[in-house]
Amino acid sequence: MYLGIDLGTSEVKALVIDEQGETVATHSAPLTIQRPKAHWSEQSPQAWWEATNYLIEALREKCADHWSAIKAIGLSGQMHGAVLLDEQDEVIRPAILWNDTRCHEECAELEAAAPELHRVAGNLAMPGFTAPKLIWVRKHEPQNFARIHTVLLPKDYLRLKMTGQKISDMSDSAGTLWLDVAKRDWSDSLLDKCQLTRAQMPKLVEGCDISATLSDDIAQKWGLSPSVIVAGGGGDNAVSAIGVGAVNPGDAFISLGTSGVLFVVNEQYRPAPESAVHAFCHVLPKRWHQMSVMLSAASCLQWFCRIIGMTEVALLEEIEQLSDEQKSTAPLFLPYLSGERTPHNDPKATGLFHGMTHSTNRALLGYAVIEGVSFGVADGLRVLIESGTDIEQCSLVGGGARSPFWAQLLADTLSLPIITHKGGETGGALGAARLACLAAGKDLEAVCKKPQVHRIYQPDSARQTILNQRYASFRALYQNDLALRS
């Protein structure tokens, strides 16, 4: 059997699959975020490790006598987080997370200091990335910066605790702004701009390769053999791609979770930083990927449902009763509750309802929310196409995939077939378990098959004219709001 561990922002999830790729057992443990100051978002790495140990015990009980059959472990993790360790590998301060926006000024400093940044790292300097976080620590916490012996990404801290080894993979490391993404190696020049060196970085391996084996004490504690290997693993989106079978150039998926991602596999490094498109290494060798990233997606619907005191299911039922004429007169919604990345790179962008009247009800506002998120995805598709990337169809995963209405709206908005998949898991934990299979020597095509298709949503041409008009108004609304904020 093969174990996948996915270290997310809100939970750690673990999953066991068998030789046929079928799920044997799964379990999750919640995490909390600490926000001690405005714009801050932090977590304790120790809390990640405690949650992981809890999951191991839970899965060990669920798998009973079969537990010892685990041959390999894969890792998936929230990207960009900064775990700072001293010479004794003790954590210096709480980890600064991907959704922490305190280092906006440091992004501008890095852009000015490193003119090669876009070409080498393939991305704009954004507050979510790791490098500007370290510049912030150097400026505001010099005593902590002076103690830094190693910088690790979140999932790689779990690997250190599991194996005693400081190792990362190409896909996750591409999100630091210290990786030469084309060469798949650390950039000494970009590290130097942050007053860091290669010696403070972990060793790099491909996500599907062996990184290490369990240490003797952890193997004994977990009831596993010390010969159990740990795959390189990867950043959460690239590993989720393995879970949904997005492994060949042109394969694409949309993930509607807390954030929203449009992910497409490339055969070569294709940076497009001018549109805030992310260009990263995939977890497979000689493959890269591009992403457009929305900071708030399904979380916008959760936010609205909390305000009106309804469940998402109940609200969606009301939305589905709206006529096409009603939807055409609904307010517009900007889904920037946490700022925005692609295509605006605007951490100060905010959410906005526009066009309400006395006849506006909660169903119309709810429709505006999911339409606004869909338009945000359309923004991402537009700039990916402008960068030269061709997408013919998209799988849909995440919480938003549970709504047939939203899937059809995406198909109509994007003018693309949208595919949902039957049952089972398609996320980071499954992808991590599949990487464990690959590291153990199993065949890529056999392991990374696409999940069975549940339904294909074809674009409805009758809806596209009005949606195109509303999308144009959506884009103009952001520009007007930006002008008012300037």
CA–CA dist 153, 48 (Å, integer): 12
Contact yes or no for 278/118 (Cβ under 8 A): no
CA–CA dist 384, 78 (Å, integer): 23
Residue 241 lies inside a defined structural domain of this protein: no
Residues 200 and 298 in one domain: no
- Residues tagged active-site: 236
Contact yes or no for 399/361 (Cβ under 8 A): no
Residue 214 lies inside a defined structural domain of this protein: yes
Domain boundary, last residue among 232, 256, 275: 232
Residues 53 and 105 in one domain: yes
Residues 294 and 216 in one domain: no
Residue 239 lies inside a defined structural domain of this protein: no
The conformation of residue 208, written as its DSSP 8-state character, comes to T
- From the list 162, 200, 194, the residue with the least C-alpha distance to 84 is 200
Question: What pLDDT, on the 0 to 100 scale, is given for residue 214?
Answer: 98
Domain count, the chain: 2
Question: What pLDDT, on the 0 to 100 scale, is given for residue 427?
Answer: 81
CA–CA dist 413, 429 (Å, integer): 30
Residue 459 lies inside a defined structural domain of this protein: yes
CA–CA dist 168, 32 (Å, integer): 24
Mean pLDDT, contiguous 10-residue spans, the chain (486 residues): 95 95 94 93 98 98 94 97 98 95 94 96 93 98 98 98 98 98 98 98 98 98 97 95 92 90 93 90 96 92 96 96 96 95 90 97 98 97 92 88 92 96 76 97 91 93 94 97 92
CA–CA dist 158, 148 (Å, integer): 18
The 10 Å Cβ neighbour count of residue 463 is: 17
Question: What pLDDT, on the 0 to 100 scale, is given for residue 324?
Answer: 94
The helix (run of H) or strand (run of E) holding residue 419 is strand 418-421
Residues 255 and 163 in one domain: no
Instruction: Tell me the binding residues for substrate.
Output: 79-80
Domain boundary, last residue among 190, 208, 232: 232
The angle formed by the CA atoms of residues 254, 342 and 252, to the nearest 5 degrees, is: 25
Residue 237 lies inside a defined structural domain of this protein: no
Residue 238 lies inside a defined structural domain of this protein: no
Q: Is 34 helix (H, G, I), strand (E, B) or coil?
A: strand
Residue 335 lies inside a defined structural domain of this protein: yes
Residues 125 and 261 in one domain: no
Residues 148 and 278 in one domain: no
Residues 75 and 137 in one domain: yes
Residues 117 and 263 in one domain: no
Tell me the CATH number at 129.
3.30.420.40
The angle formed by the CA atoms of residues 68, 71 and 74, to the nearest 5 degrees, is: 120
Question: What pLDDT, on the 0 to 100 scale, is given for residue 426?
Answer: 63
Residues 104 and 12 in one domain: yes
Contact yes or no for 196/134 (Cβ under 8 A): yes
Question: What pLDDT, on the 0 to 100 scale, is given for residue 274?
Answer: 86
Residues 222 and 252 in one domain: no
Q: Is 204 helix (H, G, I), strand (E, B) or coil?
A: strand
CA–CA dist 74, 210 (Å, integer): 9
Residue 189 lies inside a defined structural domain of this protein: yes
- The four Cα atoms 292, 298, 304, 307 give a dihedral, to 10 degrees, of -120
CA 442 and chain centroid, separation:
26
CA–CA dist 452, 267 (Å, integer): 25
**Going along 240-390, which residue ranges are E strands?**
252-256, 260-266, 278-281, 288-294, 332-334, 352-354
Instruction: Tell me the binding residues.
Output: 79-80
Q: Is 30 helix (H, G, I), strand (E, B) or coil?
A: strand
Residues 437 and 315 in one domain: yes
Contact yes or no for 62/258 (Cβ under 8 A): no
CA–CA dist 93, 82 (Å, integer): 10
Domain boundary, last residue among 209, 232, 255: 232
Q: Is 410 helix (H, G, I), strand (E, B) or coil?
A: helix
Residues 222 and 362 in one domain: no
CA–CA dist 126, 291 (Å, integer): 14
Q: Is 464 helix (H, G, I), strand (E, B) or coil?
A: helix
- Give the domain extent around 353: 247-486
**Is the pTM above the cut of 0.85?**
yes
